[in-house]
Amino acid sequence: MSLINKLIRPFAATGSQCIWPGLIEAYRPFLPVSEKTPVITLQEGATPLIPVQSIANRIGRGVKVFVKYDGLNPTGSFKDRGMTMALSKAKEENSEAVICASTGNTSASAAAYAKRGGMKAFVLIPDGYVAQGKLAQALVYGAEVISIKGNFDAALEIVQKMSDQYPITLVNSVNPYRLQGQKTAAFEIIDSLGDAPDWLCIPMGNAGNISAYWMGFKEYFKHKKAKKLPKMMGFQASGSAPLVQNKIIKEPETIATAIRIGNPVNREKAINAKIESKGEFLAVTDEEIVEAYKMLASKEGIFCEPASAASVAGLLKRKDNIPLNSTIVCVLTGNGLKDPDCAISNNDAVFHIKVENNLDVVAKTMGF
Ligand code: F0G
């Protein structure tokens, strides 16, 4: 057997060894696909579960903390898990075009997978509130981008009506195939740890991902692949926390533009996950988000986007309530490169600019 084959982990569901084929093939028995489904994949999934000792040290008491770095998916966010399923099923149903509302990541992923499947993508985004990297992706993948004078919630209302009235498939997380694909992240965590964690910390926006994870954890538990179920800990930005405050937020605001959502469509499913798992919803401030964001990058070398850091910020806020020796997974939903403006404005780096082009000057600047 070649070295590469030895290094690549076995497919979780089939037990065979090969190059990772993407999550539909890896988890086919757990997904609503058949031989008739044309699989549209960019070999998403199989993202690393990375121990983060500096976060564990802040908590102490023998707690182990991992991050599920889903920003390493093909378009840089967890949305790819949902899009491989949603687009494969849309193609199976002979759809020629898809539509979504998005704070950025959904639109990037929908555009990439639509093009991979030879379909058209239309995306509605809130004007001025989509991070540069995400907008760049939607444009370069060739989506038709419509930026509206309104927020994500307003855009979602429009696309829901569009898909009712016109022959176009909606690929927001109201599309049930999205959550089916996204639940595979819970499978991967259990496959890596050998059991479910004690806590799963996750940012919430439209609240699809927390619902998908809970479905995945319950399914694997039912199939006896895990001995326990985690507490689902959902975190929102304090200026945009409809689930924490239990009301619609008309004008949500946060630095974490990915989760700048005031009226989540998956509200009921998320509340159910919280109740069934004896979990908790909590708000974190933008300052707490930025602190966790900087800490992950500067202490661990892990660059995520601000919305993703809400999971770690929330964990640190709850650190005194964590039982001894717990295993905790924080989901890092998106890649830091998505939002370079946020990174450039929020870091503690030493950045010497316009230094003279001269060895001695450079050495002196460095303190030699
Ligand atoms: N983290 C990131 C990086 C996101 O892009 C999103 C959602 C979330 C967390 C929240 O996930 O909505 O399932 O609760 N982004 C959507 C978008 C809304 O349009 O890209 P959720």
Q: Which protein residues are within 6 Å of ligand 1, measured from CB?
A: 77, 79, 102-106, 173, 203-209, 258-259, 305, 307-308, 333-334
DSSP-based three-state secondary structure for 362 = helix
The answer, yes or no, to whether residue 18 has pLDDT greater than 90, is no
CA of 291 to the centre of ligand 1 (A): 20
Tokens standing for residue 37: 């489904």
CA of 368 to the centre of ligand 1 (A): 46
CA of 355 to the centre of ligand 1 (A): 40
Query: Atom 14 of ligand 1 has which residue's CA nearest to it?
Result: 207
Mean pLDDT of 255-280: 98
Instruction: Collect all residues with Cβ–Cβ distance below 8 Å to 233 and sequence separation of at least 6.
Output: 199, 200, 201, 202, 279, 280, 282, 314, 315, 318
**Could you identify the atom of ligand 1 that is nearest to the CA of residue 338?**
3
pLDDT in tens, 239-265: 999 999 999 999 999 999 999 999 999
The answer, yes or no, to whether residue 6 has pLDDT greater than 70, is no
Cα 181 from chain centre: 12
pLDDT of residue 227: 98
pLDDT of residue 15: 55
pLDDT of residue 13: 53
Choice from 159, 209, 293 to test ligand 1 binding pocket (greatest atom count within 8 A of CB): 209
Contact yes or no for 308/203 (Cβ under 8 A)? yes
pLDDT in tens, 95-151: 999 999 999 999 999 999 999 999 999 999 999 999 999 999 999 999 999 999 999
State the amino acid at position 121 in one-letter form: A
Mean pLDDT of 179-207: 98
Query: Atom 19 of ligand 1 has which residue's CA nearest to it?
Result: 102
Angle at 316 between CA 344 and CA 296, to 5 degrees: 35
Mean pLDDT of 169-194: 98
CA of 323 to the centre of ligand 1 (A): 29
**Could you identify the atom of ligand 1 that is nearest to the CA of residue 106?**
20
Choice from 77, 122, 180 to test ligand 1 binding pocket (greatest atom count within 8 A of CB): 77
**Could you identify the atom of ligand 1 that is nearest to the CA of residue 173?**
13
Q: Cα separation of 290 and 286, whole Å?
A: 6
**Could you identify the atom of ligand 1 that is nearest to the CA of residue 77?**
3
What would you report as the CA-atom Rg of the chain, rounded to the nearest whole angstrom? 21
**Could you identify the atom of ligand 1 that is nearest to the CA of residue 204?**
14
Query: Atom 11 of ligand 1 has which residue's CA nearest to it?
Result: 205
The answer, yes or no, to whether residue 159 has pLDDT greater than 80, is yes
Mean pLDDT of 37-43: 98
pLDDT of residue 16: 56
The percent of residues in the chain predicted with pLDDT above 70, rounded, is 95
**Could you identify the atom of ligand 1 that is nearest to the CA of residue 206?**
12
The answer, yes or no, to whether residue 362 has pLDDT greater than 70, is yes
Q: Cα separation of 307 and 336, whole Å?
A: 10
Binned at pLDDT 50, 70 and 90, residue 30 comes out as very high
Binned at pLDDT 50, 70 and 90, residue 33 comes out as very high
Average pLDDT over the chain reads 95
Choice from 333, 335, 337 to test ligand 1 binding pocket (greatest atom count within 8 A of CB): 333
DSSP-based three-state secondary structure for 354 = coil
Binned at pLDDT 50, 70 and 90, residue 1 comes out as very low
The percent of residues in the chain predicted with pLDDT above 90, rounded, is 95
Contact yes or no for 239/286 (Cβ under 8 A)? yes
User: pTM score, two decimals?
Assistant: 0.95
Q: What does each C-alpha distance from 180 to 12, 79, 112, 277 come to in angstroms? A: 16, 12, 19, 19
pLDDT of residue 17: 57
Q: Which helix (H) or strand (E) holds 281?
A: strand 280-284
pLDDT of residue 35: 97
Q: What does each C-alpha distance from 250 to 150, 242, 270 come to in angstroms? A: 11, 9, 20
